[in-house]
Each structure stands twice: as C-alpha cells, then as structure tokens.
A and B are shown apart, each in its own frame.
Chain A
C-alpha cells in the first residue's frame, strides 16, 4: 500500500520562528490533506491540497504531486500552533474510496 512519511518527527520552536514540515508519499494520490490535532484530539482541517499552493493566514502549503511530496509552512509561530500535524493522502486510481492514509505526524511545541 501507499506509504506516507512525515519529517521531522518532533520540532521545538521559539514563538515567532518559522518552520517547514514535509510529507512524502510513495504513489499517486487523489487527495492530500493537512490537519492539526489539538490536545483534545480534534483534527482541524488546515488544507485540502492534492496539488498546487494555498495560503491561509500564517500557514501555507505546497504539493508537488509529480514528485510526491507536500510542504506545510508555518510563519511567525504562536504557542497555539503547538500540537501534532498530520498529512493524510487518498490513493489515486479508479475505484478509490475516501480512505485517508495518515502519516506518523510531526509533534510541534512552540515555546513563549
């Protein structure tokens, strides 16, 4: 099956710093989403980005589908950005379902 790898596994930042999170996937995908999981377990949608570039405030994301990777940029980090960031993909090809395959996540801690 398709493999999804995220890096780095852990990241500690000072408030105000910038960071880049990476997601590599091993096969073509129909869907790629970035999520932020808060301490209570809620998965918050950040981006739906099977290809291209999107920006939302201090966050932006780029997916290069032909090279099978996606990047999540966090600028001017805040303590509220702390948590686990997941990349999840849906396999491409005919007969696909909504099955999302999640990466191992990046645990981000932003210190004041």
Chain B
C-alpha cells in the first residue's frame, strides 16, 4: 500500500508570494495533520483536519490555512510568504481523530527568497 504522499518535493518562492502544498493520506485514513519543521528543530503542529473539518490549530498566523477534500486529501496554503516560512512542511495521516498512530509523508521543502 502507498504511504502518505506530498507534492511538490521542493519549492522556491519569493517573499510576498502564495504557496499551496498538497498531501494524500494513506488509504482508509480520515485524519490529516500538517507540521512545520525549521532547521535544527522538531516539527511544530500547524493544523489537523478530520472528516473535512478543522479539529486543531497550532500557534501560526492567519496567513496559514488548510482544507480537506471529500477523498481526505488536503492542501496547506500560505499567503504573503516571509523568509521565516522557509522550512520542511510535513503531512501526517492517521485513522481517526485522536490517539492513533500517525504516519508522515516525505515532506515539501519550501525556500523563500
């Protein structure tokens, strides 16, 4: 079975631009979470979506938004990019809303210049 997939793998954007990152969960998983990992740190929680509704939000500005589609895939959108948004963006999927093992995709490496 395919694992969690993310696209694109790498992305270079300019300050002020907008970016959309995509994630497809493991088949049968209904929960998708997004994390940001800056160099030298552990991943930080951004959002969780379960059954197409936002179930949790981390301490990130409103420039960050996400949605989940009927097939449980998800998009993370970041507006008005800042240099500090340069990071590895990780998507994780799990069976349910809480207390389930999470599986991570390979990530999208975003560089903002």
Contacts and interface: CB of A to CB of B under 8 A. Distances in A.
Interface in A83-108: 86, 88, 90, 96-105
Interface stretch (A10-18, A36-44, A54-62, A73-81): A36-44
Given A97-B48, A102-B42, A105-B42, A45 B101 contact: yes
Contacts of B106: 40-42
A30 interface: yes
Tell me if B's interface is mostly helix, strand, loop or mixed: strand
A31 interface: yes
B88 A98 contact: no
Contact of B104 (A42, A90, A96): A42
Contact-residue bracket for chain B: 20 to 34
Given A33-B101, A40-B106, A45-B103, A99 B41 contact: no
Contact of B102 (A33, A42, A96, A103): A33
Interface in B85-105: 88, 90, 92, 94, 97-104
Contact of A31 (B42, B50, B100): B100
Interface residues of A, number: 24
B101 A99 contact: no
A68 B67 CA distance: 35
Contact of B98 (A33, A45, A98): A98
19 contacts: A41-B37, A41-B88, A41-B106, A41-B107, A41-B109, A42-B104, A42-B106, A43-B43, A45-B103, A48-B101, A86-B42, A97-B56, A97-B97, A98-B33, A98-B94, A98-B100, A99-B45, A100-B45, A102-B44
Interface of B: 31, 33, 35, 37, 41-45, 48, 50, 55-56, 58, 88, 90, 92, 94, 97-104, 106-107, 109
